[in-house]
Amino acid sequence: MIGSDGRLVQTAVIGSRNSGRAIILPTDADELTRWRRRHPAYTYWCGTQLGGCGNELSDRLYRDKVCHFAHRPHTSCHRTATGAASADHLFIKDDLAAWAGRNRLKGRATSRDLGTGPGDAVDFRVGEARQHVRFQFSKLAHAEWQQARQRLSSDAATLDWVFGPGTAQPETMEELYDEYGYLLRFRFETHGAVRRIRLRAEDPRRSTDWVPLDACAMTPAGLRVPGAEPRRRAGPGPTAETGARRAAAPVRRSREEQVLALKEALVSAAGFRTRPTWEALARSAGSDLLGLSVPDRVGLLAAVDQACGREGSPLLSALIRTGESDPPPYVGDVAAAVGCGTPATAAVLRRWCQREADRAFAVYGVPSRTAPPRLALTLDGQLAAQQSTEPAQRQTIVHVKGGPVRQPTARPKPGDLARAPGDAEIGHALRGARQRRGPRPRYAAALMALAEEALTRLPEPQRTELVVEMTATRRWLDSRPDTPAQKPKKSRRAMRIAAAKKTEAVKQSARVEKTQQRQQGKKAKNPLQGARPLPGVDDARPEKKPK
């Protein structure tokens, strides 16, 4: 079944509609077969703790595409999150319960709905010590986070906030860096039919290694991650140590040290899919960068990106934004300095930087993926016409008497297109097919055939993104008047009936043809045989003489 947002249903709960025991269905047919043999009595449900309808699901095994869960016929469900990550808030509750038991902590984990679903956050409370850890799954505005933090701190001795990928606002990160010196992060790794949490502490200049929950400890000062230097105080607000650090004059570093620190800060921001302001970079890479003039900033950023422009890597300077989320004008000067061209207008710079930011998120994100191509700039600073993702038509040279004659070949088939975009690039090719000019539906339909095959080979994050692009492309094709009309799909019963009718018609035609051949093979009868002769006919014949 495809979810309401176009994604395959990969998660369910075991046992009942209100169960909190989650499972990720194996996508491979052989793995699912082994899973069925090990757990023949399991029943699967679109659980209410997943935001589902509560109805029973069936596990569908396929050899030619991804295995997934499906609802029973005539079932209505409006569940939005259906991918492997949609049950992470249930998996973390299991991990926390096991971790608390091993460490003899009287703690309890509870999932929270903050407006977008039951898995927006998970709270872990240790009752006796009045310690509180919140795991943030959904993105929270900075003002909302401040209000929630003040409310939760009022009845907790210690409060730790652990953020998932892309859930912390830049302002929130800056405030936590200033107060504690680091930011706690979490992510999940898939192990068979479940997912396990990993944590680390992100320092403004470096990050610790990802570690399992068992490597962490609940201390009197709160949650402790190995490798992180604790620097906290009892309540919100800057510590005396932080105030002293702010009051101290910044230490001037060498240019090489500034470039290295700035690059590390930008790479860290790209890894967490955030676009920092220059002020946030100064807090992460060193306060001596805060008072730099615009020419000095351009020089440092150009030094960071000097190899990126030649090698095709994403320009990290494109991540920088202003308070209004627009790129600063001097980023265009950095692009020109590294040989990528000079954007002519603010709109061109905004779109160009957004593409470079997407490329940086793809390269430095966890997990990494194939980056989309860079947007080329013309000599006058405009965006170059988007290159078609369709391969150019090849020409065949036929050698005949009198010289070679060029003959254009037929339009590439889907099998030929498979050699142009790889599995990871098909999503970008579909997006480009919807945007390019000219006769697009035929090429987009060919890419859709390739995408169906790629779904069986891609891992979960890329597969989910590809399904979204396929859904958008399918809607786009249906809305275009120049899309070739497709015959409505028949049900299996209708197809069997049609095949039986066709077979019977063939047999009937064969019987008629055989009858005609049999009749043609017989000797034609004399129409006068058995009739009496006409008068005078036999009189003309000579009589036979008796022997």
Looking at residue 369, what is its pLDDT? 80
Q: Are 502 and 510 in contact (CB under 8 A)?
A: no
Tens-place pLDDT, residues 276-329: 888 878 877 877 888 888 888 999 999 988 866 556 788 999 999 887 778 999
Determine the average pLDDT of the residues in 58-82.
Answer: 88
Looking at residue 82, what is its pLDDT? 87
Q: Looking at residue 295, what DSSP letter applies?
A: H
Q: Is the dihedral of CA 147, 150, 155, 158 positive or negative?
A: positive
- Residue 519 CB coordination number (10 Å): 8
- pLDDT category at 542 given cuts 50, 70, 90 is low
Tens-place pLDDT, residues 439-482: 557 778 888 888 887 777 766 667 777 888 888 888 888 777 66
Task: Give every CB contact of residue 208 below 8 A, 6+ residues apart in sequence.
Answer: 200, 201, 202, 225, 226, 227, 228
Looking at residue 419, what is its pLDDT? 42
Residue 355 has pLDDT above 50, yes or no: yes
Determine the average pLDDT of the residues in 172-182.
Answer: 83
Tens-place pLDDT, residues 15-63: 999 999 999 998 889 999 999 999 999 999 999 999 899 999 999 999 8
Q: If you count them, how many residues does the chain have? A: 547
Tens-place pLDDT, residues 416-430: 443 446 666 777 778
pTM here is: 0.47
And the tokens for 215? 């490597």
> What is the percent of the chain where pLDDT is above 90?
23
- pLDDT category at 410 given cuts 50, 70, 90 is very low
Inter-axis angle of helices 294-311 and 330-337, to 10 degrees?
A: 40
More confident call, 142 vs 395 = 142
Tens-place pLDDT, residues 492-508: 777 888 888 888 888 88
- Judged by phi (left if over 0) then psi (alpha if -120 to 50, else beta), residue 410 lies in beta
Tens-place pLDDT, residues 220-266: 888 999 888 765 444 444 443 444 444 445 566 888 888 888 888 88
